[in-house]
Amino acid sequence: MKKYFISFLYLFMSFFCFAQEKFDLSKISELEDYTIMGIVDLREEKGFSSEVKFETLNHEGGMKVRVLEIAEKETFENCEGVWVKVLLTSPMWVSNKEWIEKYNKFWIFLTENTLIYSMER
């Protein structure tokens, strides 16, 4: 019985260690590194009127970026978010099957629903 309890305890603790939490967008800092999960539109200029240059794939490892600039908050289709200029810190495939090298700069729109994780240096 004790063996089952200890196994359950380890399982329970591991669930909380790896639980995903929403990242508070107000805590994003310039010149910090982040991993962004999910599909993201990459634009050369900020604003929804600018053309989407690339659309990322939902990579298992996420999109690795360094935040260069944080712009004003905006609401689009009842979804509040913030425009962020990022520098890709690793290469990646995008939806049109192109390979994007690192060190490219793009504007992205982050909302509270975006899964974003801070990377420690």
What are the pLDDT digits (tens) for 16-47?
A: 444 445 667 888 999 999 999 999 999 999 99
pLDDT of residue 80: 92
Range of the domain at 84: 21-118
Query: What values do phi and psi take at 26, rounded to 5?
Result: -70, -10
Beta-carbon contacts of 55 under 8 Å, excluding residues fewer than 6 positions away, are: 39, 40, 41, 42, 94, 95, 96
In a domain, 12, yes or no: no
In a domain, 13, yes or no: no
In a domain, 95, yes or no: yes
In a domain, 10, yes or no: no
- CA–CA separation, 39 and 55 (whole Å): 7
The total of structural domains in the chain comes to 1
In a domain, 42, yes or no: yes
Let me know: does 39 contact 81? Beta carbons within 8 Å.
no
In a domain, 79, yes or no: yes
The pTM assigned to this predicted structure is: 0.78
